Amino acid sequence: MDFPERVALNDGEAFLRVTPPGRPTVDFAFRTDFREAPLHGFDGGRAFGPLRLLAGTGFEPGAILLVPKEARPREIVGGLAEAGAAGLLVELERSAPDLRPLWPGHEPGTLVTVKRGMPILGLSGEAFAEIESIVASAWPDAPFAEMASPARFADATGSNLLAEWNGDGGSFAPAYMVMGHYDHVGPDPDGSYFPGALDNASGVGIVLALAEAAASYRPRVDLAFLFTDAEETGLGGAAAFVRSPPFPLGGVSVINLDMIASEAEALYHVYSSGGQAGVSLSLRVERALNAGGVPATSEHPVDSSDHFPFARAGVAAVTVSEYDTQHYHRKDDLPEYLDQDELDAVGDVLYRLIATAAVGGP
């Protein structure tokens, strides 16, 4: 099930250099001191210019701006571009340059509008403080900065994958659809990949196991199993499915699995967007998990995962997640940090829930 998508690839240069007046150039390291930041769809590329700390006194066009997190950079990047900023060095709120961001912040399910001419990099707190010190020590002169962001937006084709189990032999009307997104955040310019074991090979693995169990044990209930693409770019695959569903979505309960069975001893959350249908389903799934020995709690409203496009269309939909960010979007998100027994336990709970739907199960 194909759909159009627009995604930020990392296929350009990545560097940051600051040259104070009369002193040697200071080089900063990609993924240690800084990272790409495709905010609001601003494409990557190079910029060179005087480096200024963003303050209330304005700045000259062509300057590269050092933007503290207190300035709420997500809200002002468009205005800074219109005022003539050549590039932005943005202090990261969580000071995590080893993370790989992908979602520019646009409306879920839409194609981001690409903007060019002002590359943006995110800085660790330590790198921001060092550069801020360089700027202060050079005043009233300005150091010069040279920067390059590897982010390049490209049009692509996303692909959702759907499997159906017709358990009663009649017209297909699934009681449950279990889903997980199989995309991740791709490679760095050097070709090294972000493996994505927890986010979201874990959820995909359980959905596959549930589909295999349905084919093996043949429950007398219709079930759907959906693997979505482009979740990381803005819930694109889920939104595309909702726009053109292959069966009526009325009466379907959607359970999205995203980040399951971290080795961390974290509480599971069953997220919904609110509303009677979503909260009712979240409480049903919460009870099933707790009864199966998987401690869980419901939370709403949460709209940042693939259940949201379904909920916005009036479908009962939730996301089950053990939201552990220790390895989130990092290159050490490896299978060794998953709990196999916990994967089995969550899979068992969900199979009991979906397979007994036709006979009044929990």
CATH number of the domain at 167, please.
3.40.630.10
Q: Pick from 103, 129, 154: which residue ends a domain?
A: 154
Q: Which domain holds residue 120?
A: 7-154
Q: Pick from 109, 137, 154: which residue ends a domain?
A: 154
* Beta pairing class for 161-165 and 144-149: unpaired
d(Cα 272, Cα 237) in Å, to the nearest integer?
Answer: 18
178 & 111 share domain: no
d(Cα 208, Cα 29) in Å, to the nearest integer?
Answer: 39
196 & 133 share domain: no
Query: Is residue 39 within 8 Å of 73, Cβ to Cβ?
Result: yes
Q: Tokens 């190079």 map to which residue?
A: 46
3-state secondary structure of 219: coil
106 & 175 share domain: no
pLDDT at 357: 75
Q: Pick from 154, 176, 200: which residue ends a domain?
A: 154
d(Cα 186, Cα 29) in Å, to the nearest integer?
Answer: 20
d(Cα 358, Cα 221) in Å, to the nearest integer?
Answer: 6
137 & 204 share domain: no
- Could you give the strand order of the β-sheet that contains 176-181, starting from the edge strand earlier in sequence? 161-165, 223-228, 176-181, 253-257, 316-321, 268-271, 296-299
182 & 251 share domain: yes
Look at phi and psi of residue 40 and say left if phi exceeds 0, alpha if psi is from -120 to 50, else beta.
Answer: left
64 & 176 share domain: no
* Beta pairing class for 268-271 and 296-299: parallel
Is 190 exposed, middle or buried (CB count within 10 Å of its CB: 0-12, 13-18, 19+)?
Answer: exposed
103 & 236 share domain: no
pLDDT at 196: 97
pLDDT at 95: 83
pLDDT at 358: 57
Query: Is residue 235 within 8 Å of 203, Cβ to Cβ?
Result: no
d(Cα 354, Cα 255) in Å, to the nearest integer?
Answer: 10
**Token pair belonging to 168:** 């009663």
In sign, the C-alpha dihedral spanning 39, 42, 48, 50 is negative
In sign, the C-alpha dihedral spanning 190, 113, 319, 95 is positive
Position 293: which residue type? G
Q: Is 144 domain-assigned?
A: yes
In sign, the C-alpha dihedral spanning 337, 343, 345, 350 is positive
Residue 248 φ then ψ, to 5°: -60, 135
288 & 308 share domain: yes
pTM: 0.93
Work out how many domains the chain is built from and give that number. Answer: 2
- Could you give the strand order of the β-sheet that contains 120-123, starting from the edge strand earlier in sequence? 26-28, 15-19, 144-149, 45-53, 64-67, 87-91, 120-123, 34-36
pLDDT at 58: 80
174 & 147 share domain: no
Q: Which residues contact 70 (CB under 8 A, 6 or more apart)?
A: none
106 & 211 share domain: no
pLDDT at 360: 45
97 & 165 share domain: no
217 & 313 share domain: yes
Spell out the per-residue pLDDT of the chain, length 362, in tens.
999 999 999 989 999 999 999 999 999 999 999 999 999 999 999 999 999 999 877 899 999 999 999 999 889 999 999 999 999 999 998 889 999 999 998 998 899 999 999 999 999 999 999 999 999 998 889 999 999 999 999 999 999 999 999 998 899 999 999 999 999 999 999 999 999 999 999 999 999 999 999 999 999 999 999 999 999 999 999 999 999 999 999 999 999 999 999 999 889 999 999 999 999 999 999 999 999 999 999 999 999 999 999 999 999 999 999 999 899 999 999 999 999 999 999 999 999 999 987 544 44
d(Cα 231, Cα 275) in Å, to the nearest integer?
Answer: 23
Q: Is 2 domain-assigned?
A: no
Q: Is 1 domain-assigned?
A: no
